[in-house]
Amino acid sequence: GTMLIESVVTGPFQENVYLVARDRGEECVIIDPGDEADRIQARIDELGLRPVMILNTHGHLDHIGAVPDLRDAYSIPFAIHPADRFLLENVNEHARLFGLDGYRDPVVDRDLSEGETVEVAGLAFEVLGTPGHTPGGVTFVADVHAFVGDCLFLGSIGRTDLPGGDPAVLKTSLRDVLMKLPDETIVHSGHG
């Protein structure tokens, strides 16, 4: 079926937030709300969307910054793989290393597991384990769309020199998981 996929580029790291719904005026999922919750909310309002869940591909600072505000604003659950929970602790201390401030630690409502399908907003998101950029990194596949977080970019792959990164593990994820998706798959990355 058709899907509405809207991206909002947020924060100093120019991270891609995805609003995914069946159409305008419908329930939506927020994938990787990194920063600038107010701008994300403005786009949600413009499209008449009703957020029902926050899904995260991984737990790095630039992908989770707006999670607490949006979770509170819409009273919706936040889901992430448990292997990335360690990245959600002391977020503001980590932010200060980048000269940033005002971050809150997100509260996790639901643990994602590899191979499950999250049925939400009239859509089905298959959860594929794609660790390497982080230990709990996942890719969400809905129809022909793959939301890969930071494991794959146009012309390059994700960094492995950040907390939790492992180059050998990332290589396996790319080869055994992402490369096996159908050729018509449309890849939505975390940046760029």
Q: How many CA atoms lie within 13 A of 45 on its CB side?
A: 9
Q: Is the pTM of this model over 0.95?
A: yes
DSSP 49: -
Are 189 and 13 a contacting pair, CB within 8 Å? no
The reported pLDDT for the residue numbered 44 is 98
In a structure prediction context, what are the per-residue pLDDT tens digits for the chain, which is 192 residues long? 689 999 999 999 999 999 999 999 999 999 999 999 999 999 999 999 999 999 999 999 999 999 999 999 999 999 999 999 999 999 999 999 999 999 999 999 999 999 999 999 999 999 999 999 999 999 999 999 999 999 999 899 999 998 889 999 999 999 999 999 999 999 999 999
Are 8 and 147 a contacting pair, CB within 8 Å? no
Q: Which two tokens stand for residue 93?
A: 């201390």
Torsion of CA 146, 149, 150, 153, to 10 degrees: 30
Are 146 and 140 a contacting pair, CB within 8 Å? yes
The reported pLDDT for the residue numbered 33 is 98
Between helix 67-74 and helix 37-46 the angle, nearest 10°, is 40
For the purposes of burial, counting CB atoms within 10 Å of the CB of 77, is it exposed (0-12), middle (13-18) or buried (19 or more)? middle
Strand ranges (DSSP E) for 98-185? Answer: 110-111, 117-120, 123-129, 138-142, 145-149, 152-153, 156-157
Q: Specify the 3-state DSSP secondary structure of 122.
A: coil
For 125-159, b/e burial (b = at least 16 CB within 10 A) is: bbbbbbbbbbbbbbbbbbeebbbbbbbbeeeebbe
Q: State the Cα–Cα distance between residues 32 and 134, nearest whole angstrom.
A: 14
